[in-house]
Amino acid sequence: MTLSPVDKPPFAITTPLYYVNGLPHIGSAYTTIAADVVARFYRLMGHPVLMITGTDEHGQKIQRTAEERGVSPQAHCDEYVAGFEHLWELLNINCDRFIRTTDPRHNTIVNEFFQRVWARGDIYQGQQQGWYCVSCEEFKEERDLLPDQRCPIHTNKTVEWRDESNYFFKLSNYQAQLEQLYAERPDFIQPESRRNEVLSFVKRGLQDFSISRINLDWGFPVPTDPGHTLYVWFDALLGYITALQDSNEPPSLEQAIAHWWPINIHLIGKDILRFHAVYWPAMLMSAGLPVPGRVYGHGFLTKDGQKMGKSQGNTLDPVDLVKRYGPDAVRYYFMREIEFGKDGDFNETRFINVLNADLANDLGNLLNRTLKMAGRYCDGKVPGVDPQAMADGHPLRAIGRSLTETVPKAYSCLAFSQACNAVLTLVQASNKFLDDQAPWSLYKQGKQAETEVVLYAVLESVRQAAYLLSPIIPGISNQIYAQLGFAVDFNDRAIGQALGYDDQVGWGLLPPGQPLGEASPVFQRLELPEPVASA
Ligand code: MSP
């Protein structure tokens, strides 16, 4: 049974809330692009969707960065947040909520949540000793450190010894409940490799973790003891709840969780898996709230094998990349080229080659030459062919029909490169089909009906490809749809209602006789940058 749009359940997805210790780098852009793609796919299917992103603004890391710059932490955050908002706009991210953890409404939600956990008896005061990585904002096990007390994630940073009075959260109380959650819901943590990491971590026995700091001003005070400041992670995770609240409602935990809770997917990088897959569900259990649907930990973008990051100083400037190549190019490359869940290296030559091959040649040229032929041979209209009369074994129809199943499944599993590859099989088969069938020569031989059948099949394949790739390359899909004679905008948040999913996802749905638009290249070939001459 297909659900009508109104019946489709709401779908909420989050990115991590990014630290504003620097401008966003391509690693942060990567997660946000992926979340945007999933959100767009669910909108296409007609679900009510809420995509949340935002910034994590408290803690020592931000306080120190602001001090180094000689500005107040708030002024620092305000300045850097703008950089995130600007990048999301450049990358055509259609987010519904942008939460800043310095939002005063957030303080109310954090206090309410804290009180629930406090009332449950899950918070106590104790002494915290250990090695702290300010870049991770996390205590590290001594055995995990690199030589010279360096952090295994921020390999150029040394950890700092701490010995202070903190409040602790009784994570150990939730050992059994967490194990039960992982057993009952095997897809709670994805991909499988990350799930296994978490299972073995939890099996070693859970230790309580500290949720407050002393000697730190930049954060919310602990409600029961204002001499302590809440640990940045305790506050940050709750940002996912504050984000659910409409800005015109007075803040309240009850209200905030009324509509979109539990979140369907928390999309994160693998370095913050423990916080999301262990600490967070335990905190929620303690507060008597349902846990999220799934936590997906993707891999790292690396440069020369090293994690790219602000703290490592080896980042690629996403603003520069998107300004040079455009949002669709950047979105497509990362979704197509890196198997989601695994690490992937960025290489500019590969970037250009992939885009030229897939978008300029295979997809763009296919549309361009077919449209021109339709202009000449079919009076600039979609050929008047009945697609249902085509043989079941028609090569493009057969592939197109299979995509109706495989591509949505790939998106739901966040297997973006599989979705792209599946669509490309249709695009490549269409190029071959066009060459084999040679409609230009059919036309010369006066075989009008045969010419039309061939052109219809190719135009329809391009349409279906554009529809299925629209979550990834909405700008290009818009152009393709316009050239095929539709008036739609894939950036429309109500796209699922504007273009019924069932009317678009299959093969054979291009309306015969529809006037076609002007043919023009949808993606300009990219040139490799000139190598910098060495002195
Ligand atoms: N503030 C925390 C998240 C709190 S969520 C309640 C944080 N912020 S972060 O800015 O350091 O990182 C945000 C995300 O970016 C993480 O998921 C991290 O994995 C991701 N990435 C940071 N560097 C990355 C790469 N080089 N490659 C891919 N993702 C990377 O952690």
Centre a 10 Å sphere on the Cβ of residue 80 and count the other Cβ atoms it contains: 22
Whole-number percent of the chain with pLDDT over 70: 97
Residue whose CA lies nearest to ligand 1 atom number 5: 16
User: Of residues 5 and 185, which shows the higher confidence score?
Assistant: 185
Q: Does position 154 have pLDDT exceeding 50, yes or no? A: yes
The answer to whether the bond into 383 is cis (omega within 30° of 0) is no
pLDDT of residue 346: 85
Q: How far apart are the CA of 274 and the centre of ligand 1, in A?
A: 13
User: Is the C-beta atom of 309 inside 6 A of ligand 1?
Assistant: yes
Q: How far apart are the CA of 31 and the centre of ligand 1, in A?
A: 8
Any idea which of 127-136, 222-231, 284-293 has the lowest mean pLDDT?
Answer: 127-136
Distance CA 518, CA 525 (A): 19
Q: How far apart are the CA of 306 and the centre of ligand 1, in A?
A: 15
Burial degree of 164 (CB within 10 A; 0-12, 13-18, 19+) = middle
Q: What is the pLDDT of residues 3-55, one digit of tens each?
A: 454 589 999 999 999 999 989 988 899 999 999 999 999 999 999 999 999 99
Any idea which of 78-87, 154-163, 330-339 has the lowest mean pLDDT?
Answer: 154-163
Ligand 1: which atom is nearest the Cα of residue 16? 5
pLDDT classification of 312: cutoffs 50, 70, 90: confident
pLDDT classification of 530: cutoffs 50, 70, 90: confident
Phi–psi pair at 55, nearest 5 degrees: -130, 145
User: Is the C-beta atom of 271 inside 6 A of ligand 1?
Assistant: yes
Q: What's the Cα-to-Cα distance from 375 to each of 275, 379, 452, rounded to whole Å?
A: 57, 5, 11
User: Is the C-beta atom of 32 inside 6 A of ligand 1?
Assistant: no
Ramachandran category for residue 473: left, alpha or beta (phi over 0 → left; psi -120 to 50 → alpha): beta
Ramachandran category for residue 92: left, alpha or beta (phi over 0 → left; psi -120 to 50 → alpha): left
Q: Does position 535 have pLDDT exceeding 50, yes or no? A: no
Q: Tell which residue, 357, 352, 519, has the closest CA to residue 427.
A: 357
Distance CA 456, CA 215 (A): 70
User: Is the C-beta atom of 237 inside 6 A of ligand 1?
Assistant: yes
Q: Tell which residue, 427, 489, 424, 491, has the closest CA to residue 459.
A: 427
Mean pLDDT score of the chain: 94
Q: Where are the beta strands (DSSP E) in 85-122?
A: 97-100
Cβ atoms 486, 467 nearer than 8 A: no
Distance CA 165, CA 393 (A): 72
Q: Tell which residue, 278, 235, 245, 267, has the closest CA to residue 38.
A: 267
pLDDT of residue 347: 84
Cβ atoms 59, 21 nearer than 8 A: no
Average pLDDT over residues 422-428: 98
Q: How far apart are the CA of 268 and the centre of ligand 1, in A?
A: 7
pLDDT of residue 315: 79
Q: SS3 for 336?
A: helix
The structural domains of the chain, ordered by start, are 347-504 (1.10.730.10)
Residue whose CA lies nearest to ligand 1 atom number 30: 27
User: Is the C-beta atom of 16 inside 6 A of ligand 1?
Assistant: yes
User: Is the C-beta atom of 269 inside 6 A of ligand 1?
Assistant: yes
Q: At what angle do helices 348-355 and 327-337 cross, to 10 degrees?
A: 100
Residue whose CA lies nearest to ligand 1 atom number 16: 269
Q: Does position 425 have pLDDT exceeding 80, yes or no? A: yes
Distance CA 245, CA 228 (A): 27
Residue whose CA lies nearest to ligand 1 atom number 10: 18
Give Dmax (Cα) for the chain. Answer: 89
User: Is the C-beta atom of 99 inside 6 A of ligand 1?
Assistant: no
pTM of the model: 0.95
Centre a 10 Å sphere on the Cβ of residue 341 and count the other Cβ atoms it contains: 18
pLDDT of residue 3: 46
Q: Which two tokens stand for residue 2?
A: 């297909």
The type of residue at 9 is: P
Cβ atoms 30, 189 nearer than 8 A: no
User: Is the C-beta atom of 374 inside 6 A of ligand 1?
Assistant: no
Cβ atoms 263, 292 nearer than 8 A: yes
pLDDT of residue 6: 57
Q: Tell which residue, 456, 437, 453, 449, has the closest CA to residue 510.
A: 456
Cβ atoms 224, 118 nearer than 8 A: yes
Whole-number percent of the chain with pLDDT over 90: 82
Phi–psi pair at 104, nearest 5 degrees: -55, -30
